[in-house]
Structure 1
Amino acid sequence: MEEATGGRRPDEDLDADVEHAGHPVEEPAEDAGLAHLYHSNKNRTFVRAIQGDYGLNKELERLRSMPRVQKASEIKFVDGPQAYSRHYVEPKDGITQTFHLHLEEYGPGGKSQKHGHVNEAAFYILDGVGYEVHDGIRYDWEAGDVAIVHNNCVHQHFNGDPDRPARALVIKTKPMYLFMNMLFQKQVEPRQTEPAPGGVGYVVREEEDDFNHPAEGY
């Protein structure tokens, strides 16, 4: 288990992890020709404009016309080869301005990027086993658990099984925080561009098939 760095307050961890000896960490990924990846996109829509008359009648009409069910079959996973994301709801879709909902799949032995942000997040673990590292402290999880990322926390998500994938449904209020001008977030270590040793040849599970339930016994 990793231990927290001594002599640091929790609210200093984000700044300390993105700077070394007073020098900011170089921005990763974009200059490496990876700008096509979701998590390296410099032009992501974090909040969208709300325009119209004072009563916002057209905006309300537009919102009420939006779909109420997001079909998994119509939304593909992005990124990989260790951490994949399927983004069900985010502000650019025009459905919500307050939260972001996405599905994370970690390939065998895979891990996410290391990063930090102001907003909180909740990870409901659908299947697999793994762990979090938050501000240098490890927290283990398994299917059925909920992992909480608190405010201003430098964190990373790990699949603890070298042979099998893991899955988590993520709900976070990032858009609401950013809409209130709470803007600070930073990537410390980008998503991996090579598979983990146990994940060579792994293909993300695009089709939903009750992965969090046994195939027999019902």
Structure 2
Amino acid sequence: MEQKSIKEVHNELTMHSVRFAKDEQGRRKEQEVLFKWPEVQKKLGEHKHIYVVDARLGSNNHTHRLWYDVIPPHTEEGQDWRTLGHRHTVEAIIYFLQGKGHSIIDGVRYDWQAGDLLSVPMFSWHRHINDGDEPVLRIASTTGPLSLGLGQAVYEDERYPEFWIYAQEGEDARKTLIPGGGGQVGNGQVGGNRAAEMYAEQVAFAMHEEQLRRKSKVLVKQKDLVFEPTAMGNLAYVVDPRIGFHSKALGVVMAEIPPGKRSGAHRHLYDEIDLVVGGRGKVIVEDKEFEFDTLDVLSIPVFQWHQYFNTGTEPLRILGINTRLALDNLGLSLTHQGEHADYVE
């Protein structure tokens, strides 16, 4: 086999970057959008944890994933967990569809039931226990793909201490919400010049970040959701930094569409995964139409126009989990609004 010249190798690297956006457009057009609940339900009969939208399964989602799982009655999610549970350097959203129970997150107990949601602070130990007589059915979405891409995906699980990276270093390392520990706020302070101040801020960042994570809201009760009219229709912001959550990547909204009505149309540069919480309808994505029912999952392609229609007789509720915040922090967030919803003024 003829060896490529230095010029050929590096020209190929350049063209990989040049071609990427065009190639990505093609991948978006071909990506799987609709994941039907009956198919997922069948798989859950064989295994209690089923990935639905995941790049490792061929999904064209670069920043987050979604899975379904089941916790049997009166048991814990990880049945060998005793004290810690697990923690990870990914943001996580958990939405409960059936059952009731409680979670221990960073040492605090949160009681939940169907319709409630948890926003788990990054790198906090957490456990989930089913307190009821029926199985708990839930979905979870995390920024695993984003952390993997950054080379910063750390998953520490009480059941697998041989894979711990930090927790084995002692009690302080197990208590901190910062991989490797936050250090001391004043450790970087020397002199009185601007460069010294800037470096001291860098050293102190992790400790301040840990404090903000511990102040973050965690539990959202379904009864507390407030729907208000927007160009896209009636929306309730569920997880967002502007309402008390220390989230840097994952945001959550709930949309509600009356029977026979439609949402607004928009497109955006962030990944979005939708769970149909209740009702039935259809979504038009560019020139394709997909009919969905309760518990189906939608993976909306980046920067493609999409609009939702309630074709049923009951209110349609859709939980939208997106990575707009990650794009905001990168300065890449963009949303274009098209037609407005037909039921708001």
User: Is the 1:114–1:154 Cα contact (8 Å) retained in structure 2?
Assistant: yes
Distance 1:158 1:172 in 2: 20
What is the CA RMSD across the aligned residues, in angstroms?
2.8
Q: How does 1:17-96 map to 2 (within 5 A)?
A: 53-54=201-202, 55-56=204-205, 57-79=207-229, 83-92=233-242, 93-96=244-247
For residues 156-213 of structure 1, give each alpha carbon's deviation from its aligned partner in whole angstroms, at most 9, with x where no partner exists: 111112x321111111111112222223321011233459xxxxxxxxxxxxxxxxxx
- The gaps in structure 1 that reach 5 residues or longer are 1-8, 13-51, 196-218
- Supply the distance in 2 between the matched residues of 1:79 and 1:194 (Cα, whole angstroms): 6
Q: Which residue number in structure 1 is paired with residue 296 of structure 2?
A: 145
Q: In the alignment, residue 79 of structure 1 is paired with which amino acid? A: P
For residues 241 and 286 of structure 2, what CA distance do their matches in structure 1 show?
28
Alpha-carbon distance in 1 for matches of 2:240, 2:286? 27
Q: SS of 2:211's equivalent?
A: helix
Secondary structure of the structure 2 residue equivalent to 1:86: strand
CA contact (8 A) 1:104 1:169 kept: yes
Equivalent residue runs for 1:169-180 within 5 Å: 169-180=319-330
Deviation at 1:105, TM superposition (A): 1.3
1:61 counterpart letter in structure 2: Q
Provide the residue aligned with 1:187 in structure 2: 337
Partner-residue secondary structure (3-state), 1:115: strand
Maintained 8 Å contact 1:90/1:101: yes
Question: Offset of 1:143 from its aligned partner?
Answer: 0.9
Q: Is 1:156 matched with 2:304?
A: no
Counterparts of 1:126 and 1:112, CA distance in 2: 16
1:108 alignment partner, SS class: coil
Change (3 A) 1:69 1:137: same
Task: Kindly name which structure, 1 or 2, has the bigger radius of gyration based on alpha carbons.
Answer: 2
**Which range is displaced more, 53-62 or 123-132?**
53-62
- For the structure 1 residues 166 and 94, does the alpha-carbon distance in structure 2 shift closer, same or farther, using more than 3 Å as the test? closer
- AA aligned to 1:117 is H
- Secondary structure, aligned partner of 1:73: helix
Kindly state the Cα deviation for residue 84 of structure 1 after the two structures are TM-superposed.
1.8
The 3 A distance-change label for structure 1 pair 66 and 104 is same
CA separation of 1:62/1:120 partners in 2, compared to 1, >3 Å: closer, same or farther?
Answer: closer
Residue segments in structure 2 that go unaligned for 5+ positions in a row: 1-22, 27-199
Kindly state the Cα deviation for residue 72 of structure 1 after the two structures are TM-superposed. 3.0
Aligned to 1:165: 315
Counterpart of 1:116 (choices 267, 270, 280) is 267
Return the offset for 1:81.
10
